[in-house]
Copies of this chain bind each other. A is one copy, B any other.
Amino acid sequence: MSPRRSVAEARHTRDTIITTAIDIASLDGLEGVTIGRLAGELGMSKSGVLGHFGTKETLQLAAIRLVVDQFTTHVVEPALDHAPGEDRLLALCDNWFDYVTDPGLPGGCLMTAAAVEFDGRAGDVRDVVAEAWARWDDLLRKELGRTPGDFDVDQALFEIVAFGPAVNRAVQLFGDRSAAGRAKRAARRVIGRTG
């Protein structure tokens, strides 16, 4: 029984806490992630959980950072293998819609949920969520700008960013797993590719 573990063990514990936190958050929201609930599920004491972060807000920020990393790994990075412009744009969209359908979280895409949960509040969590979404918008806008076709870039961007949350809604609220396919078709329509 050694309360002080090694740095590697402490890091592993921290990762486990964050992983459990995003599972809970995807179901019940980031505010539903309470220290006591985490401690209970992990068989730890509350102070053991909180010691890794200091405050609940720091834990929430760490959870968002992990989700953003996962999004980058599953959606953005594979798309960078494709040529800039239309190919990369459609890869980003397709990866996004597949990821939202199956984000590896029991309650659906956490970034979609966090955007709605925090859009009416103030603070670091809201700012980090908004900034992550703004970067995603910028990435899509850049590829739209490189895509030839008879469309307005900002209008096309508005339409495409609508389809990700729409997939989340269809899957989580209605159990409709065909939504990703509809979203892929819709994205092609937006850029005038009847694919």
A29 part of interface (Cβ distance < 8 Å) = yes
- Size category of the A interface is 35 or more
The DSSP consensus for interface residues of chain A is helix
* CB contact under 8 A between A165 and B163, given known A130-B173, A158-B182: no
What's the Cα separation between A162 and B173 when bound, in Å?
13
What's the Cα separation between A154 and B170 when bound, in Å?
12
Stretch at the interface among A55-63, A75-83, A113-121: A113-121
Is A116 in contact with B113, judged by CB distance below 8 angstroms? yes
Top 5 A-B residue pairs of the complex, sorted by shortest distance between their CB atoms: A107-B120, A162-B166, A119-B172, A27-B120, A162-B162
Interface residues of A in 7-35 (CB under 8 A from B): 26-29, 31-32
* CB contact under 8 A between A165 and B174, given known A116-B112, A121-B28, A186-B158: no
Q: What would 9 A/B residue contacts be, using CB atoms closer than 8 Å?
A: A115-B173, A116-B117, A117-B117, A134-B174, A158-B183, A159-B162, A161-B169, A165-B165, A165-B169
Is A115 in contact with B27, judged by CB distance below 8 angstroms? no
